[in-house]
Amino acid sequence: MMNYDHITLPSADIPVSREVDVLVIGGGASGIAAAIAAAQGGASTLIVEQRGFLGGMGTLALVPAFCPFTDKEKPIIRGLGLKLMDRMKEACDPGYREEYRELLDWVPIDPEVLKRVYDDAILESGVTPLFHTFVYDVVLSQDGRNVEGVIIVNKTGRSFIRCRYIIDCTGDGDIAALSGVPFQKGGEAGELQPGSMCYLLANVDRPKFNAFLMETGDTGQLHRTVEKAMAEGALPEGRKSISGLAWISDYLVGVNFGHVFGVDGTKAEELTRGAIEGRRTAERQLQFFRSYVPGFEHAHLVASGEQLGIRETRRIQGDYMLTVEDFLAARSFPDDIARNAYYIDIHLATSKSDMTFNHLPPGVSHGVPYRIMLPVGINNLWVAGRSVSSDRAVQGSLRVMPNCFSMGQACGTAAALALRDGGDSRSISIPELHYRLLAQDVWLGGNFTPADDAGVMEGKRL
């Protein structure tokens, strides 16, 4: 029997299963916000998600908490993202609501509650969900400037979804890459931030743990405990801080601790390796908690992420690339659609590397321009989330869920405007986009003034 590098499939007629105005691919924070905004703007909207639920890293990978919605002085990520987080709070148990009602930064995620909140929110807005579905390929127009639709694969079979506009919320820029959009991935040597296997521990004792932290009155107590465990071989060398303990209740905590290195989240083989290694790491960490950390003696691992939490893959080439200089100068742009104050957070690429942090002063934020979501060469495609057009440093800031909500909301709103006017992603009125976002309680800065259309899309800065 001969071996071949490739096979040729016979030609096939693929049925058209759906036709929609706006097609959103990916059901994480950016996709949820994009779909709701598009539907509320009057577009027939379908959201396609490869798992059986929405939420992305917050539910799929069990990332234990929402990153900050504030600039340390006031909420700057508002709109749909803040409303959805508040809705999760109200759906949680009374004790949770009481403790976290006013908290806007590092709010613990109850993943099962959040799944139901997202389900209800998209259905109430008129969005049609389609779960358990992968995008196999995209179909471009003859001139290659528009996406006519996508070929999907699921248990029903293979079919084609025709759309007028499409929003890539895959986190990895999958649709943009399939459409031929140029992209970058990782650092200069191709290095990628590590993944993390997050998980939930039950049967823990929060009061006892808090007493342990207060024994010396030193917040470095837990850090030193981790260092001791590494020195004694109970933990592998690497991340020395447990920055992600999110207490859902006094007996249930979400954990983000440690890294799995060298995993490219765009490759199934590496995600497979990462999942297996991540579960082994979680078991080793469980034994550390039981042996070294008071309050965790009887901890039980009730769930680990369905996949590794991924921080970094592709960054598309867009009409503008947001840079670290823009971040540090807290620049504003005439086509801003959001503000961002989350610090640059680049995790170590290996167990011996350093982590990078750059913070803006309290009360300071930079603008997020619309153009970073417009992939070059395609007219009816937006990209929202961590794969937008930025340099690697800024991607380490933009990648978190609150920012993904705001970018998704802007894309969905823009798609509804384009539909109304029969235009494309670059022909919409930026001032009208601003007015619509402001009407949706999006915050664009204390001194924000809606721009004139003239010159906005040519890169002029305010």
CA distance 30 to 439: 19
pTM: 0.95
Structure tokens at 420: 């109304």
Structure tokens at 132: 């358990």
CA distance 200 to 128: 30
- What's the pLDDT at 455? 52
pLDDT in tens, the chain (462 residues): 556 789 998 998 999 999 999 999 999 999 999 999 999 999 999 999 999 999 999 999 999 999 999 999 999 999 999 999 999 999 999 999 999 999 999 999 999 999 999 999 999 999 999 999 999 999 999 999 999 999 999 999 999 999 999 999 999 999 999 999 999 999 988 899 999 999 999 999 999 999 998 887 766 788 889 999 999 999 988 766 776 799 999 999 999 998 999 999 999 999 999 999 999 999 999 999 999 999 999 999 999 999 999 999 999 999 999 999 999 999 999 999 999 999 998 877 655 545 566 899 999 999 999 999 999 999 999 999 999 999 999 999 999 999 999 999 999 999 999 999 999 999 999 999 999 999 999 999 988 877 666 455 554 333
CA distance 379 to 146: 6
Rg, the chain, Cα only: 22
CA distances for 210 relative to 236, 240, 307, angstroms = 25, 19, 30
Which residue in this structure is represented by tokens 């803040």?
Answer: 82
Which residue in this structure is represented by tokens 């002029």?
Answer: 460
Q: Which phi and psi angles does 129 have, rounded to 5°?
A: -95, 150
CA distance 413 to 407: 10
- Residues contacting 191, CB < 8 A, separation 6+: 349, 350
- Give me the DSSP letters along 249-318: ETTEEEEE---B-S--TT-HHHHHHHHHHHHHHHHHHHHHHHHHSTT-TT-EEEEE-SS-B----EEE-B
- What's the pLDDT at 218? 67
